[in-house]
Structure 1
């Protein structure tokens, strides 16, 4: 609390020198808030919890549901029955945007609207710091990555106004959400089978992408939906080379960058594509929880070449939006600060090399049913895989055994498995991104926030399964 004459009045209650000293601390905090509002970047050092709560309390006081003597005669007035729920949301209950646009200012929620705009600036800065300096604009969408991709596909189609564009070229990646996003948006996926290399790595077939565009006709294709973050031994799609093909034929490239923000290699590749005059990226989408360590529920849409596309995505969102994923990310980014964010990114890169090195050492020095699949290591530096030299039933038990020892995350992929993802689309070898991978294998990930102790504990467990 600070107002004109505060120092003078407070000095009648306690000693003036104590008031003056206290106000210096208050003014320092107010200066931090002013810098945040004006510069709209991650603070160099993270804010304390008290500083964040103070800021949120101030913004909450700007929302009408917290006005003194407020009279609400509408169907949506920010009323919250449970005091526990109200506290959980820091008294911010109106949500964000308006029914016609995600980022529109909400007249009943000036404070929440400011938080939204600030969060969009902060996450854009975080993506720049991660290696994509050419990103120009980002928005946080309160939906999962797959649903956000569907929103982007629909936005691209609406902006082109070419109803004959019914197809999305999709280099195979055995994750259901992306295929479902294409289907949800009303398009038909054209699956491009991958190349299985001699070193065990799997990558998108660029020649097949171009051949399929020629075969189907660019006038009938909305975009290529490429993927940068994937389970080894699949490697990230080469978005630069795919972007060159898209540029050549005048179609878009939407990138599923689900957990790619934490990888310097991936972000620099996206950055290179944005900067090129001969390649293209319409937008790239990333998960909030996988990259920024917040609860599940949000995604970030970013663009560097066509920032108006971000506005189109915002305008296609139907209805008032939940504030929760935005608030979670806003608090987290303020808490991390620039130094904390860069430290987490650097630590993850170091731990990936440590994890691989320790795995190599353990497998080399002991007889093991596992072998490191080395082919994907240089291009996929988030995930890596170990082949499993066991019969199918025994290989499957490896994952079960790890799970029941409180180890989550590893995935056992069995060769020859089949799965129907959509009613009209089935895959052989599902999980391995190709029809005929020669081994059963287990995938591991070194994701942001992992600790060295977790790696050591996993290595100990690996000897027991």
Structure 2
């Protein structure tokens, strides 16, 4: 609806009513104009009607949605399913041009504009999260592993002699496979145990750089977000080592935005609540919350009383939580061995060969509510009680079996004694 359309509408409906509707539309258009002018997140979130209006206005700018369009190229934004078209608000054509994903697509002005706005909003969000030095960014449909692989392949052109990537160990498959896929040899640096925490072994990193030679090293590949008791790598100290030896530094910052200083303030209350509730529950079962102050999201609680019996009880707890619809909690038994791309990791999932005990992970990330914590604690409590009860029953059964065997042995020995006595009396 434009000015002429509203004017025509006044001949059919009371002009006062039409003008009121026109003002309502202008309110939506004002929000859209501010977004296009500033390219930043609005102070207040949009309602669905504004979002749908904006998306519809952009979609009809793409050539595949032109009335009477005649497309004879190999890329015309055709779609066989109306369901798929509605699911994507009829943005069918796509963005970019061959070899340049950020280029404007002439036949898809609306999609290209949406892409530019998306990149601008994400850049603003990252700055709001505390990364003020960032200059540019673009959004692509790639997860952690492929993104890292492309980073390593890009560095290859600048360091053609390099064949190694120094990698402080984190037991996460995609980041490890990314180095293999890019054609490099990972050099695994084991973490060091400091209290309950697993931290970056800076001396081992520096020694390995000197041993292999800086020119033979593509980069140091560090990690920010991880499961406790591992904590984020010592990024600043690693950056100093990289600067001293002239080596690039690739940081795997998957999920890292939500654990920045700005985000930490938002989640701090929920993290403290989760920590306190887990601590209370763990103490009731003679366990303890591991002290990992350098990990701002993930928590870990020991499972020593389960582990001392056997690993089966530990893994059973994880299965019970999953079947009771507790997602995200992670049980880590001792002694797990995993081979990834030809490399064998002992103690896999614990980020080290020999962590002192089995443990359970839980995290307080953005969006978690107090009700989620309460429900998790309730279900964990029920699962622990069930596992303990089954362990106790199993111990009683084993005791009864042992007692029965002892009685049978005593009876057999008594029979033998009586038989010998009878034979002696007969002779």
> Could you say which TM-score interval applies, normalised by the shorter chain?
0.7 to 0.9
- The correspondence of residues 380-459 of structure 1 with structure 2, limited to 5 A, is 380-389=295-304, 390=306, 391-423=310-342, 425-459=343-377
Pairing 1:13-412 to 2, within 5 Å after superposition: 13-158=12-157, 160=158, 162-197=159-194, 199-265=195-261, 346-364=265-283, 366=284, 368=285, 370-374=287-291, 376=292, 378-389=293-304, 390=306, 391-412=310-331
SS at 2:138 equivalent: strand
1:270 corresponding residue in structure 2: none
Q: Where does the alignment leave 5 or more consecutive residues of structure 2 unmatched?
A: 384-427
Q: Is 2:220–2:248's contact at 8 Å kept on the other side of the alignment?
A: yes
| Contact 1:141–1:148 (8 Å) recurs in 2 | no
> Could you tell me whether the CA contact under 8 Å between 1:228 and 1:236 is conserved in 2?
yes
Contact 2:282 / 2:301 at 8 angstroms: preserved in 1? no
The structure, 1 or 2, with the larger RCO (C-alpha pairs under 8 Å, 6+ apart) is 1
Aligned residues: 379
Q: Distance in 2 between matches of 1:454 and 1:370?
A: 22
CA–CA distance in structure 1, aligned partners of residues 166 and 52 of structure 2: 46
What's the TM-score once normalised by structure 2's chain length?
0.86
Instruction: State the Cα distance separating 1:230 from its structure 2 match.
Output: 0.3
Equivalent residue number for residue 463 of structure 1: 381
Residue of structure 2 in register with 1:2 after alignment: 2
* In 1, Cα distance between equivalents of 2:44 and 2:193: 45
Contact 1:147–1:181 (8 Å) recurs in 2: yes
SS at match of 1:139: coil
Between the aligned partners of 2:93 and 2:163, the Cα distance in structure 1 is: 37
Deviation at 1:171, TM superposition (A): 0.6
Given the two structures, how large is their TM-score scaled by the length of structure 1? 0.79
Higher gyration radius (CA): 2
Q: Secondary structure of 1:25's partner?
A: helix
Alpha-carbon contact 1:232-1:384 (below 8 Å) kept: yes
Contact 1:369 1:388 in 2 (8 A): no
User: Any gaps of 5 or more consecutive residues in structure 1?
Assistant: 268-341
Distance 1:452 1:418 in 2: 36
Q: Which has the higher helix share?
A: 2
